[in-house]
Each structure stands twice: as structure tokens, then as C-alpha cells.
Amino acid sequence: MPQLRPLPLLLALVLATLASAWLNLNTGSAHIAVLEALQQVDSLDHQILLELRLPRMSTAFITGALLGIAGALMQVLLRNPLADPYILGVSGGASVAALLAIMAGASGMMLSGSAFAGALLSTLLVFTLAHGRGHWDSTRLLLTGVVLAAGWGAVISLLLAISPGTQLHGMLFWLMGDLGFSRTPWVGSLVLLFLLPVALAISPSLNLLARGELPAASLGVSVGRLRTTIYVLASLATASAVTQAGNIGFVGLIAPHMLRLLGARDHRLLIPGVALLGGTLLLLADAISRLIIEPRQLPVGVLTALLGVPLFLLLLFRSRQLNNE
């Protein structure tokens, strides 16, 4: 694979992000001329744009960027290219807490706060159980996360079975991943602004860890501390993404794969690249989800799964071809 030039790739990703954001703003049940609506302050179109479409567009991008970064970090942490942000059960904890909040009649900030608290609780449980008496490795962490995720799945099934019929629709939409009730993602934006520079700062160490723990340790990397840092960062990104939009699959799995197939294996390029690509993918998926059964809307998590499965299989096939060449 030839060495990829960082600037042209990042520029192409920025342009793709801007184009996807413009498409997203122009998509909806009501046709709106975006530039005219911005100038007509007292118009209904202006209100729709500022109060509905801009928050939804920004939430889609921030959520996709967080999932992309979380996916790249998880794949390094677990040394498994098939790892995704949800593999350690963070989303399961958030889902259980969110469903309990919906059953209690909560909405808005209370619902988001409950989901975030559930995600942090799940993160703490996985870390505590995997850490044991002072030592943990990637295999132990993965097994603990998978078992806890299965437990959360059983609790989710129980809650759906006993929930009132009037609340079931909202609970299912949240579980499928939905951007229909998006608000301005202040918390997600702050998390992303914190996450990006920290992830970039540890990128050289991520490059070494990707080659193996022993080579990284021999070159002076504190492997235990680095693994803990990666786990905390990936869990924080996943918790923020799930809180904003529910469970949206495949974005955090596909975005790192696509960039690696393009030759972006250096994490100093991969981290900002997956943020842009993850945001772009979710912007496009959200726009398509509003068009495919218009005027009704398809939950964006359903669409990412429908498109993600064949796309991921195609990426795996392409990766195998490149490895055989």
C-alpha cells in the first residue's frame, strides 16, 4: 500500500463533510431554501432551520465523530479490527437506564442524563470486574464486556416485555437509534473537543501499541497506563454518542476500516480522519433515512445497520484482496 499523503485525504474528508452537512440541512418534509431562510429572521423556515435542522445536523455529525474515534480506539485496545464502540457493554448500560427513565415518564435532559449515568456505570463495572486484583489484559476486558453486554441485553428484553404499550414505541425508537428529537449537542461537542487533542497526543503511543504490547513496552510505553487511558476515552466517547442518539451501529466499525484500506494506518492521521468520516457517514445516513419513506422517517440506526452489513462485508473482501497481493 503506497504511503498516503495526510493533507489531501483530510481536505477530501472536510469537503465530504461540508457537502453531507449541506445535504442534511436541505433534507426534510418541508422544502427550505437554506440561504434565504437564514436571512429571513421572522419566517417559519428560519425557525425550522435553527430549531430543528441545525441541531439535528450537528448532533448527527458529533455522534458520528465520537463513534468513529471510539471505534478506532477500541480496535487498538483490544487488538481486534472487528471491535466496535459497543462491544464492552457501554451502550447496554445506557439503554437500560434510558428505558427505566422512559418508563418513569422522564424526557429531555432527564432522559439524556439517565442514559449517560447508565453508560458510566457500565464502564465502571467492566473496568472493576476486568481489573480484578490489579492486573488486566485485553482478553479479560473483552470477555468481561461481552458477558456484561449480554446481561444488559436480558434486562432490556425484560423491560420491553413489562413496559406499558403507550411507552413501547418511544422505547423501541430510542433503542434503534433516532435523531428525530435532537437538541443542540453541547455535551457531545465538549466531549469531542476534549477527546480529539488527547487522542492525538497519545497517537504515537497508539502506533506502537498496535504492533504489540511487548514491542511498545520495550520502546518505553507504559502499556498499563495507556490501556486505561484508551478505555476511558473510548467509553466516554461511546457514552456521549449513545446519550445523544441511542444505539447507532456500524459507524464506529466501518469508518476506521475504510481509512485503513486507504492506507491511513498512522493514528496521527487516523484519529482526525475517523472523526470526519464517522460524522460524514452519519450525516448521509440521516439524510437518506428521511427520504426513503418520506414523509415518514426511518430510525437512522436501522439504516446504518442495513447499509453497514453489506458495506462491511465488501470492506472485508477488499482487505483480503489487498493482503493477498
Q: Quick one: fold of 6-324?
A: ABC transporter involved in vitamin B12 uptake, BtuC (1.10.3470)
Domain boundaries, the chain: 6-324
Burial 195-210 (b: 16+ CB within 10 A, else e): bbeebeebbebbbbbb
Question: How sure is the predictor about 1, in pLDDT bands with cuts at 50, 70 and 90?
Answer: very low
d(C-alpha 161, C-alpha 31), whole Å: 40
Residue 58 has pLDDT above 90, yes or no: yes
d(C-alpha 123, C-alpha 111), whole Å: 19
Task: Show Cβ contacts of residue 36 under 8 Å, excluding neighbours closer than 6 positions.
Answer: 45
Residue 133: the pLDDT is 62
- Which range among 31-40, 205-214, 265-274 shows the weakest confidence by mean pLDDT? 31-40
Mean pLDDT of 11-31: 89
**pTM for the predicted model, two decimal places:** 0.90
Mean pLDDT of 32-59: 81
More confident residue, 321 or 296: 296
pLDDT tens digits for 153-174?
999 999 999 988 888 888 888 8
Q: Among 227, 209, 229, which residue's Cα sits nearest to residue 219?
A: 209
pLDDT tens digits for 172-198?
888 888 887 778 788 889 999 999 999
- Rg over alpha carbons for the chain, rounded to the nearest Å, is 20
CB neighbours (10 Å) of residue 41? 9
Residue 137 has pLDDT above 80, yes or no: no
Residue 153: the pLDDT is 92
Residue 190: the pLDDT is 93
Residue 135: the pLDDT is 66
pLDDT tens digits for 229-279?
998 999 999 989 988 888 898 899 889 988 988 888 899 999 999 999 999
Residue 61: the pLDDT is 96
Residue 216: the pLDDT is 87
Mean pLDDT of 22-41: 78
DSSP string, 190-205: HHHHHHHHHHHHTHHH
Q: Among 185, 192, 154, 160, which residue's Cα sits nearest to residue 174?
A: 160
